[in-house]
């Protein structure tokens, strides 16, 4: 059964059926480790850094998640939650190779592919004639081909837009498929908790809950003007999502928005002076990474990110600020003042413009 046949959308003067597939590999890094070493299966497993060196969990399998272990969690804390957790170091070259093979499978169904990371992507199959144009059958085939060729599982969501396709891919994880048909869209969205909406984090969800809004059905009762008054410009987006509206296209050309370097320290940096002393090697690495872009972008503005010892963090960026060691020192001073606490991580970077302009002058500033 094809998805979206009943949902015409305008496209350059005519209508077509919009069919979006979101494919998400299940616990990608951990799945590859279990594939390559069957002895790891069935036990709590994570891929990440050393707990004794301020490491962080990159991903974990479902056995580990049962203990509350999650990605981006400090490895030491993960071990407290699950003392039997085995943490293995990442093998990025292997993960990239598998990702490339999975992306090659996608290309057999459409040229409109938007990778979000190594392990997930949007596919616009609206005009694809593969599987007789059925997005559902395409998703089923993709899942089977990835399983057969790579030995890992993927979950997929099929829907008339990106917002719903991404939610659907998480619906029956792991190794699942969820299809949201156009005539099911209204009821499906109405039952969604507001926490599932794209862009709604913990703070916004709590604000909505405090206003008596727990589901999209309740959110839909609000007028757009009232949501804008409460949430600013994001209120208009909330109004759209509560109705299942998402006109964002699948963007094929993914150009870099930023380049950055960050480091987590084995011991907290106790004060501002220690943070400033830590900047030069980070800036050297940043200059090297910018040099590898070969003049494809123009530097827009610099930024500094600090994560304090209590895991709160702040990022400070400033258009027009000099991309120089002195400029980064000034940003670091301002960022540190926001927390004035020991620092566990420092990041430095630049935002990029999508302009074909050489970076040579900027690099000289380092």
Residues annotated catalytic, as ranges: 120
Q: Which contacts (CB < 8 Å, 24+ apart) does range 12-19 have?
A: 16/126, 16/127, 17/126, 18/124, 18/126, 18/160, 18/161, 19/124, 19/125, 19/126, 19/128, 19/135, 19/158, 19/160
Residue 11: phi and psi, rounded to 5, are: -150, 100
Known binding-site residues equal 24, 119
Element containing residue 124 per DSSP (H, E): strand 120-124
Distance CA 278, CA 91 (A): 27
Distance CA 102, CA 125 (A): 16
Helix residue ranges, H only, the chain: 28-36, 62-65, 75-81, 92-106, 135-150, 162-169, 185-190, 202-210, 216-219, 224-231, 234-241, 272-277, 279-291, 325-339, 360-364
Q: Which of 33, 100, 97, 24 lies closest to 60, judged by CA?
A: 33
Q: Which two tokens stand for residue 61?
A: 């399998």
Which residues sit opposite 57 in a β-bridge?
48
Half-sphere exposure of 92 (CA within 13 A, CB side): 4
Q: Which two tokens stand for residue 93?
A: 């070259």
Distance CA 130, CA 137 (A): 9
What's the Cα-to-Cα distance from 95 to each of 105, 261, 269, 271, 278, rounded to whole Å?
Answer: 16, 21, 33, 38, 31
Distance CA 293, CA 255 (A): 11
Distance CA 170, CA 165 (A): 9
Known binding-site residues for Mg(2+) equal 24, 119
| Residue 140 contacts residue 155 (beta carbons within 8 Å) | no
Distance CA 322, CA 123 (A): 40
């Amino acid at each position: 059964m094809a998805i979206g046949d009943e949902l015409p959308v305008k496209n350059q003067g005519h209508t077509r059926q919009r069919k979006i597939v979101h494919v998400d590999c299940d616990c990608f890094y951990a799945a590859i480790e279990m594939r390559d070493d069957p002895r790891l299966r069935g036990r709590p497993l994570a891929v990440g850094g050393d707990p004794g060196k301020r490491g962080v969990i990159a991903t974990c399998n479902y056995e580990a998640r049962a203990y509350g272990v999650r990605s981006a969690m400090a490895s030491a804390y993960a071990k407290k939650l699950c003392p039997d957790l085995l943490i293995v170091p990442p093998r990025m070259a292997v993960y990239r190779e598998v990702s490339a093979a999975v992306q090659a499978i996608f290309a057999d169904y459409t040229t409109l592919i938007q990778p979000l990371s190594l392990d997930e992507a949007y596919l616009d199959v609206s005009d694809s004639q593969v599987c007789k144009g059925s997005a559902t059958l395409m998703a089923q085939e993709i899942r089977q081909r990835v399983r057969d060729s790579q030995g890992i599982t993927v979950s997929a969501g099929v829907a008339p837009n990106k917002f719903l396709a991404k939610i659907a891919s998480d619906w029956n994880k792991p190794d699942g498929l969820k299809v949201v048909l156009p005539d099911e869209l209204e009821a499906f969205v109405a039952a969604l908790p507001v926490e599932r909406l794209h862009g709604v984090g913990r703070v916004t969800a709590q604000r909505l809950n405090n206003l008596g809004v727990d589901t999209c059905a309740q959110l839909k009762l609000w007028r757009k003007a009232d949501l804008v008054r409460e949430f600013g410009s994001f209120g208009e987006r909330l109004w759209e999502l509560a109705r299942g509206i998402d006109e964002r296209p699948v963007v094929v050309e993914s150009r870099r928005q930023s380049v950055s370097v960050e480091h987590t320290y084995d011991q907290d940096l106790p004060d501002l002076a220690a943070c400033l002393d830590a900047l030069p090697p980070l800036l050297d690495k940043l200059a090297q990474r910018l040099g590898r872009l070969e003049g494809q972008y123009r530097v827009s503005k610099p930024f500094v990110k600090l994560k304090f010892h209590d895991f709160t963090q702040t990022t400070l960026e400033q258009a027009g600020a000099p991309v120089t060691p002195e400029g980064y020192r000034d940003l670091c001073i301002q960022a540190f003042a926001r927390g004035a606490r020991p620092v566990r991580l420092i990041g430095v970077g630049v935002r990029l413009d999508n302009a074909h302009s050489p970076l040579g002058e900027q690099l000289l500033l380092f």
